[in-house]
Structure 1
């Protein structure tokens, strides 16, 4: 049922929610707002949140409540608002348990080539949303999707989330959206992580708080402190260009847009600088929908 809703969504569907679960009440508040927008605007919307950010750069970075507690929160969200759920897995053994709650299983960008992970997700029968690796081409993504198809699951979507541009920056090549659409599969643009400047800053904690560029030559690390380092690596990104990326995606005819939102992004424990304020989500989506509708008239 969810798959058919996504395939038929006009002018496009939306995946929205916080980067990572921060507790039951927080998730329910965000989900309630998303459900309200869905009802008011007649949009197909999916609630997104991670139970574990297993690929955080630094040892001390917040990861989330974990698999079991996280799935309980997502189950409550689904029950309370009848919202489809998407969340990501990082290990093959997580697939079946996550599939008991999630309607869509997301494959993280860094893991988009991991055959065993893709196959384990595919065998659940759930919709599979594959994030394009920052290192991957549209051709690589076609092959990733083919692994899902070969495993007997034809419910697969491809997601553009930027391409590495030097050490600590990403850019979106709009041609990738066009090329991935040629596969005939639904294509999504992640307007959040496409704006990352990943691991751009090091917050050094051992000698007070000191911020420096993480792409500095390696000897700088040695001059600051001896290992293991008491530091946290963070991004230097900004959500300010989210509207423009969404406009581009809508104009190019994507099937869906992925956007992370929070009540107060400045307090979010992960990627807060990239998340869009929840209270400003509805007018942003309205603008994108107008562009997507206009494109259908061409």
Structure 2
């Protein structure tokens, strides 16, 4: 009998189709790319994914950059719950990172860590009913995180990492993959194709800006039309797009005054969702303090985005 690699109780793939290596963290095998994943994708599995994206609603992925603590997350969730109740045309997911694994400096705070972060997500889900999304950085994180949250996010720097894409797809979660700052929108078809071949249940494509010289990013509004050709929803990351990477002496700077115009322009250009980071007191945030939207300003911003979305819908 052919040996098999077990992904979870409902999925397995013949070893002969795939490369194999051992996880340094969990000491469990995980997958690399294989041409015959297409056959796996076509297999019926017991993973049941309920589609999150709804073309009749504006998709919003909103929350603090780092989860930090429940004390930070609760006021954000309170504000989002009020917005969701007031505007049924919104489809809001609560976002946050349990590990800021790509900080500029090794001295920077990385956040709650995996277990504490997942506990915050469980609380937000049970107390507010929100679906949740978070980023993962290693293939061996996918199963544990995917068992709690509704959508997994692939960081822009890691969007071409095949092992990570395949492991994320295997969870059955929706996948939000960010276009690398180094990547053209045309090349995103290869990223989404990997996810498709790996059996991803739902795929979103997010533009968070393209490197423009040193310590600067620009958003090409043509990207949303180009990436739409991949037949998956497109999202503007309006807060990371205004970053000035590494420009604040070991941390990233930012120009939050451009968050609103970029988000509105992207919706007008065809983006079907908006990713926003917000914080009750951005100046005290452990990461992206210069680009996060003050929570007090979020309702007005969201209302303006909804008006644009309705106008172009």
- The normalised TM-score by structure 2 is 0.82
In structure 2, C-alpha distance between the alignment counterparts of 1:169 and 1:19, rounded to whole Å: 19
Moved over 4 A (4+): none
1:244 is matched with which residue: 234, 255, 261?
Answer: 261
The answer to whether the aligner puts 1:266 opposite 2:313 as a matched pair is no
* Counterparts of 2:236 and 2:50, CA distance in 1: 18
> Which shows bigger deviation, 51-60 or 23-32?
23-32
Q: 1:5 to 1:154 in 2, by over 3 A?
A: closer
Q: Indicate whether 1:61 and 2:113 are aligned.
A: no
- Give yes or no for the alignment of 1:175 onto 2:222: yes
For residues 59 and 263 of structure 1, the distance between their equivalents in structure 2, rounded to whole angstroms, comes to: 25
CA contact (8 A) 2:222 2:269 kept: no
Quick one: which of 51, 59, 79 aligns to 1:13? 59
**In 1, Cα distance between equivalents of 2:158 and 2:97:** 15
Shift of 1:2: 8.0
Instruction: Give 1:23's match in structure 2, choosing from 59, 69, 72.
Output: 69
CA contact (8 A) 1:266 1:272 kept: yes
Q: How many residues align?
A: 265
What do the CA deviations read for 1:169-227 (whole angstroms, capped 9, x no partner)? 0000111111001111010000000111100132xxxxxxxxxxxxxxxxxxxxxxxxx
2:300 is the counterpart of 1:254: no
Give, in angstroms, the shift of residue 285 of structure 1.
Answer: 1.1
Match of 2:120 among 69, 73, 78: 73
Give matches, 1:106-255, under 5 Å: 106-202=153-249, 233-255=250-272
Work out whether residues 17 and 30 of structure 1, in 8 Å CA contact, stay in contact via their aligned partners in 2.
Answer: yes
The alpha-carbon deviation at position 4 of structure 1 amounts to: 3.2
The gaps in structure 1 that reach 5 residues or longer are: 203-232
State the distance in 1 between where 2:260 and 2:232 align: 24
Rounded to whole Å, the distance in 1 between the matches of 2:55 and 2:219 is 26
- Matched residues in 2 for 1:264 and 1:63: separation? 18
Q: 2 CA distance for matches of 1:58 and 1:51?
A: 17
Among residues 98, 101, 107, which one is paired with 1:51 in the alignment?
A: 98
Cα distance in 2 for partners of 1:55, 1:268 equals 16
The CA distance in 2 between the partners of 1:62 and 1:270, in whole Å, is: 8
Q: Equivalent residue for 1:206? A: none
User: How far apart are residue 100 of structure 1 and its match?
Assistant: 1.2
The CA distance in 2 between the partners of 1:48 and 1:2, in whole Å, is 19
TM-score if structure 1 supplies the norm length?
0.86
Contact 1:9 1:44 in 2 (8 A): no
Is contact 1:3-1:155 (8 Å) kept?
no
Structure 2 residue 107 is the aligned partner of structure 1 residue 90: no
| Residue of structure 2 equivalent to 1:214 | none
| SS, match of residue 126 in structure 2 | helix
Contact 2:279 2:295 in 1 (8 A): yes
